[in-house]
């Protein structure tokens, strides 16, 4: 080996990455080669120099921020088309004999849908019911109707109008102001009962523009407490920020603080409660600061307590 070839060994020698036999060979060569000894010294000086660049330890605050932002991004991901695909793919992966079963299920589903949607004599086309016009579907009608599905809720923030496509006895589209009782009725139904989180999110978006309506208030608090999807509960928590402060809102936030399984929801509840904190909130904060399973929640509560003590609220 010439000195150039020994240099590769010297780089590993400095890191202690050479096996014993090769290390001994390097030692033996160094004893007789001044040039390689100088190279080794240069390497050592480089290592000393590089030690001036220390490891950057992330702060607990940065870790907390990262976790919080990731939680929100994952919630958003769950609500989108990726979440839908993931749900399907995980079902297929874990179902027994998944390939064959899935193929048969798709064929049967396709046949059933084709049968259900076949053209029939006298069938009424999708109905648009303008709220302002003569309503062919009255409020009592809607109350007696069994809603099978909601395909779309499209609020228009400029006009305050909302367009809802739903399947009851027949497919229909309701269109009108959020102040229209029929529109509200469907939205309140959707936020409590509908199983598609995307529809529930659109519904919340529509409802949050009417924070003064007692029914809307109730629906938002219901979603905060009971929606099965953590992302939706976070959406609901953002929506209730627009409500007037009151005991029912305070209790819903305390319930979220104590019982919600998602740390992101608990942290958002702490933030909102902190803005209206009083001495009665303090015990809940102290309990979570001491015993919450999530370190970020503990830290956030501890900070809220410190700020409460300083009278910064």
Partner 1 sequence: MTDGACLELAGKVPKEGTRVVAEEEMLVRRAQRGDRVAFDALVRLHDQKILRLVMQIVRTPELAKDLYQEAFLKAYRALGNFRFESSFSTWLHRVATNVCLDYLRRQGNREEISTKPGEDGEVELLDTVAEGRPDLNPEHALRAREIGRRIEAALQGLTPRERVVFELRHYQGLRLRAIGELCGTTEETAKNCLFRATQKLRTALEDLAHARKRE
- Report the interface residues with partner 1, using CB under 8 A: 7-8, 11-12, 15, 17, 41-43, 45-46, 48-50, 52-59, 62-63, 65-67, 69-71, 73-74, 77-78, 82, 86-87, 89-90, 93-94, 230, 261, 263
Specify the residue, 15 or 115, whose C-beta has the smaller distance to partner 1: 15
Q: 9 or 202, CB closer to partner 1?
A: 9
Residue 131 and residue 135: Cα distance in Å, rounded? 7
CB 175 within 8 Å of CB 161: yes
Find the shortest distance in angstroms from Cβ 45 to partner 1.
Answer: 4
Of 65 and 248, nearer to partner 1 (C-beta) is: 65
| Least Cβ distance, residue 293 to partner 1 (angstroms) | 10
Instruction: Pick the closer one to partner 1 by CB: 182 or 201.
Output: 201
Task: State in angstroms the smallest separation of the CB of 284 from partner 1.
Answer: 22
Between 2 and 59, whose beta carbon lies closer to partner 1? 59
To partner 1, the closest distance from the beta carbon of 66 in angstroms equals: 5
Closest distance of CB 76 from partner 1, Å: 10
Distance of CA 249 to the CA centre of its chain: 22
* Residues whose CB falls within 8 Å of the CB of residue 173, separated by 6 or more in sequence, listed in order: 126, 127, 128, 129, 163, 164, 165, 166
Phi and psi angles of residue 162, each rounded to the nearest 5 degrees, phi first = -140, 145
């Amino acid at each position: 080996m010439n000195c150039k070839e020994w240099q590769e060994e010297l780089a590993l020698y400095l890191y202690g990455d050479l096996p014993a036999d090769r290390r001994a060979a390097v030692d033996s060569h160094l004893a007789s080669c001044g040039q390689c000894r100088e190279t080794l010294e240069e390497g050592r000086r480089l290592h000393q120099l590089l030690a001036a660049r220390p490891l950057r330890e992330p702060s607990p605050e940065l870790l907390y921020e990262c976790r919080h932002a990731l939680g929100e991004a994952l919630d958003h991901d769950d609500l989108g088309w990726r979440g839908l695909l993931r749900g399907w793919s995980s079902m297929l992966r874990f179902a027994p004999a998944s390939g064959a079963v899935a193929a048969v299920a798709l064929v049967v589903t396709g046949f059933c849908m084709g049968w259900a949607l076949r053209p029939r004599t006298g069938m009424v086309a999708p109905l648009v019911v303008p709220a302002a016009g003569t309503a062919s579907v009255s409020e009592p009608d809607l109350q007696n109707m069994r809603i099978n599905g909601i395909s779309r809720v499209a609020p228009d923030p400029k006009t305050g109008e909302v367009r809802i496509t739903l399947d009851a006895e027949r497919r229909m589209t309701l269109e009108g102001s959020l102040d229209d009782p029929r529109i509200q009725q469907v939205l309140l139904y959707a936020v409590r009962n509908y199983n598609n989180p995307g529809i529930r999110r659109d519904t919340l978006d529509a409802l949050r523009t009417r924070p003064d309506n007692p029914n809307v208030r109730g629906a938002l608090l219901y979603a905060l407490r009971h929606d099965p999807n953590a992302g939706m509960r976070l959406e609901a928590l953002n929506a209730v920020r627009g409500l007037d402060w009151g005991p029912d809102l305070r209790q819903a936030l305390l319930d979220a603080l104590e019982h919600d399984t998602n740390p992101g929801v608990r942290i958002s509840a702490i933030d909102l409660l902190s803005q209206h904190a009083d001495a009665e909130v303090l015990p809940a904060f102290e309990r979570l600061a001491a015993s919450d399973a999530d370190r970020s929640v503990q830290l956030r509560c501890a900070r809220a307590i410190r700020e409460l003590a300083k009278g910064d609220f």
